[in-house]
Structure 1
Amino acid sequence: MKTKTWQIKDVAEQLQIHPQTLYYYERIGLLPTPQRTPAGYRQFTEVDIERLQFIQRAKALGFRLKEIRQLLELREQRTLTCWAVYEQLQQKIAAIEVQMLELQALKQELESLLQECHSRLGSVTMDQACTLLEESAAAS
Structure 2
Amino acid sequence: MTRILFICHGNICRSTMAEFVMKDLVRKSGRENDFFIDSKATSTEEIGNPPHPGTVRKMHQVGIPMNPHRASQMKKSDYEDFDLILGMDSWNIRNILKITGGDSEGKVHMLLDYTNHPRDIADPWYTHNFDETYNDVLEGCEALLNAL
> Per residue, is there more helix in 1 or in 2?
1
Higher-Rg member (1/2) = 1
Same topology, TM > 0.5: no
Shorter-chain TM band: under 0.3
TM-score, normalising length: structure 2: 0.26
> Per residue, is there more strand in 1 or in 2?
2
